[in-house]
Amino acid sequence: MGDHKDLTDELAADKIKDLAETIKTCMFCTYNSDRLQSRPMSVQKVDELGHLWFLSDRNSSQNAEITLNPQVELFFAEPHDKFLTLHGSASISYDRETIKELYDPIVKVWMPGGEDDPNLSVITVVPEDGYYWNNKHGKMVAIAKMATALVTGKTMDDGIEGNLKL
């Protein structure tokens, strides 16, 4: 079994920033009535408080669902190495300065009008809590330990995990 270390406040925000900026893409989940709706989205920014920013289309299902229920779940994963789950509240903004700050040319794939597209919006997620897991020594060591565990039949968990509370 790996180590368990719960993190709160600034340490939790630091862990969120570290993992979300490294992994970048998450399954962004909203609620449509009582059903969880998921889609991949890329984080544009994570601040020192652990708040996350995404760019989105004003007419998207996620925007419509956030308008009805701001509760969201975010699931980040980098196989064999890093995992992060966050529960929080989302809000939508159309602030042009923030859009310009967050805009990346790859967004044009989904928003052909570019950074000046009037349908471009910003979703801000303020996490309340979550859970993280990552290995202590990097992906290659984790894979080597997994291979050793398969051969020897012994558990070689090299992870550290814990609850996050903001």
Name which of 80, 76, 58 is nearest 135 in CA terms.
80
Question: Residues, the chain, total?
Answer: 166
Name which of 127, 122, 95 is nearest 111 in CA terms.
122
Q: Average pLDDT, stretch 12-32?
A: 97
pLDDT, tens digit (0-9, with 9 covering 90-100), for 106-131: 888 888 899 999 999 999 999 999 99
**Residue 81: predicted pLDDT:** 86
Global pTM value: 0.86
3-class secondary-structure state, position 94: coil
**Choice between 151 and 88, residue whose per-residue pLDDT is larger:** 88
Cα separations (Å) of 116 from 20, 78, 119?
26, 32, 9
- Specify whether the backbone of 18 is left (phi greater than 0), alpha (psi in -120 to 50) or beta: alpha
Q: pLDDT > 90: what percent of the chain? A: 72
Ranges of each domain in the chain: 3-165
pLDDT higher than threshold 70 for residue 147:
no
Q: Out of 3.30.70.260, 3.90.1170.50, 2.60.40.10, 2.30.110.10, select the CATH number for domain 3-165.
A: 2.30.110.10
Q: Which residue spans within 1-119 are E strands per DSSP?
A: 3-4, 7-8, 25-32, 35-42, 45-46, 52-57, 71-78, 82-93
Q: State the sign of the Cα–Cα–Cα–Cα dihedral 67, 32, 19, 126.
A: positive
d(CA 111, CA 39): 16
**Residue 53: predicted pLDDT:** 98
